[in-house]
Amino acid sequence: MFSISWLILLLTFLFGSVISQTNVDVQTLYTHLFTTNNYNKLVRPSRNQSYPNYLYVSFNLYGISGIDEIQQKLTTTGYLEIEWVDELLSWTPSQYGGLSYILYPQGDVWKPDISLQNGFSKLEDLGSKFISVNIDSSGHVIWRPFHVFESKCDIDSTYFPFDRQTCHLYFVARSLSERDVRLKRGSGIELVDDLQSHGEWNIVSTSSLNLRNQYETKVRFTIVIQRKPLYAIMNYILPIILLSILGVFTFTIPVDTGERIGYVITVWLAFAVFLTIINDSLPKSSETIPIVSIYIMIQISIGTLIVIISAIESRFVHLSDHEPVNTILLTFAQKCRKRRVQPETEIKKCMERDETCVTWKEAITALDKFLFWICLSFFVFSTMISLSIAGSK
Ligand SMILES: *[C@@H]1O[C@H](CO)[C@@H](O)[C@H](O)[C@H]1NC(C)=O
């Protein structure tokens, strides 16, 4: 008990000047500032109106709530911290019981009409009625309007899903010219300690810049974000690569069974489905084409080629063995033949016909084998190239 009362005494002694202010002091100050001085919130708070007001703008980011790739929209949650000096709102603390700062509703003091220039939805007032500004005895005002900012962000999906996007937020004083106010970046973008993480995007870096032209000054905040690729790899990239492998194995199905065309058409359709899915989740743009779309297009083209080749092959495989085998096919067949032992009867049959002794079926099988290796190498090559280009970013 003894020590606590000592502590209270000590605190009263140390902070006496701060806590000695009364409600009457606050009320007197309000009356002095806003009634006696006849404060008008429409007047720019500079005693000499030839001087502009300097506004320091910083951005405190709570997190990214979402990125809409189709609409090219970035949604961020946070608050701006705008500071300026209101020369008409200053007092001497000692006259008001040591009162060093007051809070006042944002709608009742002069404030700049700062807004997001590259906003996505209609122009809105920053903050809201219940937000107060903090005014200290030297007239230094801090306004912290909280807002969910929806800004336009150009999405470049070339390197999807390893893409990195740079999004800008431009803040400008809508109707105040450069002669009235100067916007300056304060401490840039500050990420709050308990930053909300986003499932798909990581914030890589942030920066800020003062921009100025003849008519207006503005502050640009930049957020660089990187996609976390795991989701897209598991759901788009791996299935597409597996499908491509299936396409290559078309040539291991004998063409005379008639299964092959059905098989390759199915693979072709699956590619078309994936192309639709990918394109539905990326912005529709003719300026940049995602590498993954190009990759799918290449695989679809190869699929088409395989269908055509299979159709022609299935026609030839049913040709009578009395027809002479095409010379190019013949070379393939003879190359492959060395290792193969032919049934006795077949050799006899073809010996009667001519000395090369290659049947159509044999020739087609040899061609399939060759095409299989061609397709496999092309698959490996195109996949490696695509992955390395997309991943190099
Ligand atoms: C305001 O500032 C300008 C520029 O310094 C000066 O010429 C002018 O006299 C000042 N006006 C008043 C009323 O002090």
- At which residue do the structure tokens 């810049």 appear? 209
Tell the burial category of 135 from Cβ atoms under 10 Å away from its Cβ (0-12, 13-18, 19+): buried
- At which residue do the structure tokens 């699956």 appear? 270
Q: Structural domain boundaries of the chain?
A: 18-228, 231-392
Report the alpha-carbon distance of residue 208 to residue 170 in Å, rounded: 10
Task: Output phi, psi for 84, to 5 deg.
Answer: -155, 175
Cα 88 to ligand 1 centroid, rounded to whole Å:
17
8 Å CB contact between 166 and 218: no
What does the DSSP assignment read for 191-259? Answer: EEEEEEP-SSEEEEEEEEEEEE-SS-EEEEEEEEEEE-THHHIIIIIHHHHHHHHHHHGGGGS-GGGSH
Cα 48 to ligand 1 centroid, rounded to whole Å:
6
Q: pLDDT tens for the chain, 393 residues: list them.
A: 445 555 554 544 454 444 578 889 999 999 999 999 999 999 999 999 999 999 999 999 999 999 999 999 999 999 999 999 999 999 999 999 999 999 999 999 999 999 999 998 888 888 888 899 999 999 999 999 999 999 999 999 899 889 999 999 999 988 888 889 999 999 999 998 888 889 999 999 999 999 988 888 899 999 999 999 999 999 999 999 999 999 999 999 988 887 888 998 999 999 999 989 988 888 888 888 899 999 999 999 999 999 899 888 888 888 777 777 777 777 767 766 655 555 556 555 555 555 556 778 888 888 898 899 999 999 999 999 999 998 886
8 Å CB contact between 135 and 109: yes
What does the DSSP assignment read for 140-204? Answer: EEEE--EEEEEEE-----TTTTS-EEEEEEEEEESS--TTTEEEEEEEEEEEEEEEEP-SSEEEE
What's the chain's length in residues?
A: 393
Q: Whose CA is nearest to atom 6 of ligand 1?
A: 50
8 Å CB contact between 361 and 263: no
For ligand 1, what atom is nearest to the CA of residue 51?
A: 2
For ligand 1, what atom is nearest to the CA of residue 49?
A: 1
CA 76 to chain centre: 12
Q: What is the pTM of this model?
A: 0.82
Which structure tokens are listed for 390? 């997309």
Q: Which CATH class is domain 18-228?
A: mainly beta
Q: Whose CA is nearest to atom 7 of ligand 1?
A: 50
Tell which residue, 103, 89, 123, 369, has the closest CA to residue 251. 369
Pocket lining: 47 vs ligand 1, CB cutoff 6 Å: no
